[in-house]
Amino acid sequence: MYATKNQDRTIRAELRLRYYILTGKKFETLESKLTMGQIVALRFASDEELPSLTVRAVNENISPKAIKESIKNWLSDEHRV
């Protein structure tokens, strides 16, 4: 359990940085409207897809599965616990 909670924190930090670099906006303003499952699913989105997919996930409240199905260019995570 500790390892997965720690990984969740790492994913949040990664998405905060990526989203800010890509958009110049803080991810935290959207983060509170997303479930951890949605955040984990967004982690796999390419840089090109992340901003629009994040907004779509917030506005349409799409499921983690639907987020993953929407991703065209996957970023793999070889180090997930």
**pLDDT the model gives residue 4:** 75
Please check whether residue 75 lies inside any domain of the structure: no
| Burial of 50 from C-beta contacts in 10 A (0-12 / 13-18 / 19+) | buried
Tally of structural domains, the chain: 1
Give a yes or no: residue 56 inside a domain. Answer: yes
In a domain, 79, yes or no: no
The mean pLDDT values, 10 residues at a time, for the chain of 81 residues are 79 96 96 96 96 97 97 78 53
Site of tokens 């409240």 = 61
The per-residue pLDDT for 18 is 97
Query: Which residue, 29, 75, 28, 32, is CA-closest to 50?
Result: 75
